Structure formats: structure tokens, C-alpha cells
């Protein structure tokens, strides 16, 4: 039974937790259900800095967008965009350049319906409900085709989404399909949770998420780096989030290092 909130899409099964809503809970948002909070609490029991890890990833996203803007990019495709919270891509970019284009893509109903709500009347931003592991569906979507000009550099974001993609689905191949669709000079931001620093705790997180709609697959630095194939990785390379371009904004330099991040330029 859906909880009685206007942002709950019809027909959604609120008993099955989802990554979008557990992440919203960890960020302190209000768009989550009891089932999501149970999983979120479990995550926090085993990973005491779970909230700091989520915030660290979110702040990398902001810095990556700012860096892309410094490189002259004014159109963004945000894959696995999540439930809108403070500091969404369109807010960051349209504050400086109101005609900058942004398309959000997510498969979570709450993420999509809430994005639709906050984008009402914004002609330069849109949202698509799709599985980002099906690049053809995303790239041929009318909203994407209408707002993104694939003859000009694109800012592609796959932030905290690839660790929901199993080896069978081939995360590196998924990234490569999007990389191939954008012109040279496009910038691609990737972030990925790792168990390199806290194998036991992260093993428990995987366990806690097992019965959600989005099981997780943490990867080592060696497994993550190949996802930047066909790109020149910008300085400082692929590093834990707090060590990436702290000069662009709060990076939580003393914070947890459990999210690897990087931005590559398509060559």
C-alpha cells in the first residue's frame, strides 16, 4: 500500500526498498518509505560513516559539474540521477547559464516523478524513465534527442550508479556505449563505491542491499579504472572523492575514501 503522500507514484510497491530512496534517506531527504529506512538503518549500523560517504559522493558530483562548465560544457546527461535533493545538476548549471541543457535518467519511479515535479516549466531540462544499461533506449528517447546536441561536447555523469550494474551486464561496456555516442572533447564523470578500505563493513552493506531492487557490486581500483577506456583521465586521475579537486568546493578532505571518482575526456 502506498503511503499517503502526493509524491508517491500510483502503483508503486513501497515494500521493496530501492537504491534511490535508501540514498535519499542517507542524505537526509524525505522521499523514502519505511522499507527504505529499515535498509538505510541497517547500512548505518554496519557502516557508521554511511551518511558521510553519501555526502562525499554527492559533493564530487557538484565539483565534476563545475569542472565541466569550466571546460565550456553546457549540456549534461545525468544517468542514474537519483531523487532530486539540494544541488541538482540543473540548479548548479542554470544558475550560471540559464539556457544550459540537462537531462536526468533514472529507472526509479519516485526519482522520476519528483524530478518531473521540480522541472515543471523548465524548458531546458527534462527527465527520462529508463534503464541506463540499455543505452539505445536512452539515446533514442525523444527528450534526450530534443535537449542534447550530440554534435557538441556533452557532460556525461554516471555518479554512484555503476556499482548497481552487475558484471554480467558489463559496466565498462555500458560506459563505452555512451562514450561512443558523444563527440571528442566530451567529459565523462564516474564514481564507484569500493570495499578496498573496509572489506568487512562493505560486505555487510552488500548483504543489507541484497533484497532491495538494486543489489550492489563494489569494485576495487583495478576493476574501476578500465571503465575510463578511450578517455584521457583528467588530473588528479582516479582517486578517492575527497582527493579530487578540493579547490572547486567542499570536498570533505578528512572524510571517508570509499568512493573512487574520476573525470575522463573522450579522445
Ligand X SMILES: C[S@@+](CC[C@H](N)C(=O)[O-])C[C@H]1O[C@@H](n2cnc3c(N)ncnc32)[C@H](O)[C@@H]1O
Task: Give the x/- contact pattern for ligand X in 82-111, rule: CB under 6 A.
Answer: x-----------------------xxx--x
- Quick one: 60 or 228, whose CB is closer to ligand X? 60
Q: H-helix or E-strand containing 156?
A: strand 155-159
Instruction: For residues 130 and 179, give the distance between their C-alpha atoms in angstroms, rounded to a whole number.
Output: 18
For cell 571528442, the residue is: 184
> Which one of residues 33, 39, 43, 58 is an interface residue with ligand X (CB under 6 A)?
58
- Quick one: 28 or 183, whose CB is closer to ligand X? 28
Write out the binding residues for ligand X, residues 165-204 only, by CB under 6 A.
none
CB of 88 to ligand X, least distance (A): 9
Instruction: For residues 208 and 252, give the distance between their C-alpha atoms in angstroms, rounded to a whole number.
Output: 26
Q: Provide the 3-class DSSP secondary structure of residue 237.
A: coil
Does the protein bind ligand X through residue 19 (CB under 6 A)? Answer: yes
Task: Using the rule CB under 6 A, give the single segment among 36-44, 93-101, 145-153, 160-168 that binds ligand X.
Answer: 160-168
Angle 216-189-56 from CA coordinates, rounded to 5°: 65
Give the residue at shortest CB distance from ligand X: 82
Distance of CA 112 to the CA centre of its chain: 13
> Which one of residues 47, 53, 147, 159 is an interface residue with ligand X (CB under 6 A)?
159
Cα–Cα distances in angstroms (integers) from residue 100 to residues 68, 124, 140, 145, in the given order: 12, 7, 20, 15
Distance of CA 206 to the CA centre of its chain: 18
Does the protein bind ligand X through residue 61 (CB under 6 A)? Answer: yes
CB of 151 to ligand X, least distance (A): 25
DSSP 27: T
- Quick one: 160 or 182, whose CB is closer to ligand X? 160
Instruction: For residues 104 and 74, give the distance between their C-alpha atoms in angstroms, rounded to a whole number.
Output: 14
Instruction: For residues 75 and 187, give the distance between their C-alpha atoms in angstroms, rounded to a whole number.
Output: 11
Write out the binding residues for ligand X, residues 117-156 only, by CB under 6 A.
131-133
Does the protein bind ligand X through residue 113 (CB under 6 A)? Answer: no
Does the protein bind ligand X through residue 47 (CB under 6 A)? Answer: no
CB of 180 to ligand X, least distance (A): 18
In this structure, the strands spanning 231-233 and 259-266 are antiparallel
Does the protein bind ligand X through residue 55 (CB under 6 A)? Answer: no
List residues near ligand X by CB under 6 A: 18-20, 23, 57-58, 61, 80-82, 106-108, 111, 131-133, 159-161, 164, 214
Amino acid at each position: 500500500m502506498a503511503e499517503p503522500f502526493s509524491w508517491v507514484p500510483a502503483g508503486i510497491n513501497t515494500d521493496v526498498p530501492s537504491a534511490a530512496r535508501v540514498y535519499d534517506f542517507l542524505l537526509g531527504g524525505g522521499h523514502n518509505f519505511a522499507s527504505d529506512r529499515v535498509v538505510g538503518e541497517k547500512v548505518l549500523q554496519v557502516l557508521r560513516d554511511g551518511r558521510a560517504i553519501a555526502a562525499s559522493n554527492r559533493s564530487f558530483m557538484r565539483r565534476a559539474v563545475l569542472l565541466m562548465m569550466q571546460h565550456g560544457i553546457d549540456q549534461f546527461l545525468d544517468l542514474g540521477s537519483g531523487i532530486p535533493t539540494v544541488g541538482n545538476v540543473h540548479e548548479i548549471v542554470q544558475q550560471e547559464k540559464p539556457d544550459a541543457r540537462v537531462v536526468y535518467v533514472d529507472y526509479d519511479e519516485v526519482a522520476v516523478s519528483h524530478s518531473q515535479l521540480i522541472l515543471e516549466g523548465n524548458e531546458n531540462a527534462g527527465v527520462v524513465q529508463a534503464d541506463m544499461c540499455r543505452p539505445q533506449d536512452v539515446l533514442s528517447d525523444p527528450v534526450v534527442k530534443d535537449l542534447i546536441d550530440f554534435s557538441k561536447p556533452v557532460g556525461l555523469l554516471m555518479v554512484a550508479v555503476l556499482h548497481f550494474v552487475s558484471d554480467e551486464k558489463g559496466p565498462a561496456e555500458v560506459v563505452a556505449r555512451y562514450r561512443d555516442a558523444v563527440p571528442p572533447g566530451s567529459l565523462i564523470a564516474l564514481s564507484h563505491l569500493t570495499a578496498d578500505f573496509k572489506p568487512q563493513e562493505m560486505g555487510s552493506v552488500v548483504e543489507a542491499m541484497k533484497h532491495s531492487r538494486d543489489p550492489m557490486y563494489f569494485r576495487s581500483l583495478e576493476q574501476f579504472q578500465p571503465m575510463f577506456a578511450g578517455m584521457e583521465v583528467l588530473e588528479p586521475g582516479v582517486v578517492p572523492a575527497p582527493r579530487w579537486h578540493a579547490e572547486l568546493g567542499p570536498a570533505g578532505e578528512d572524510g571517508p575514501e570509499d568512493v573512487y571518482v574520476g573525470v575522463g575526456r573522450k579522445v
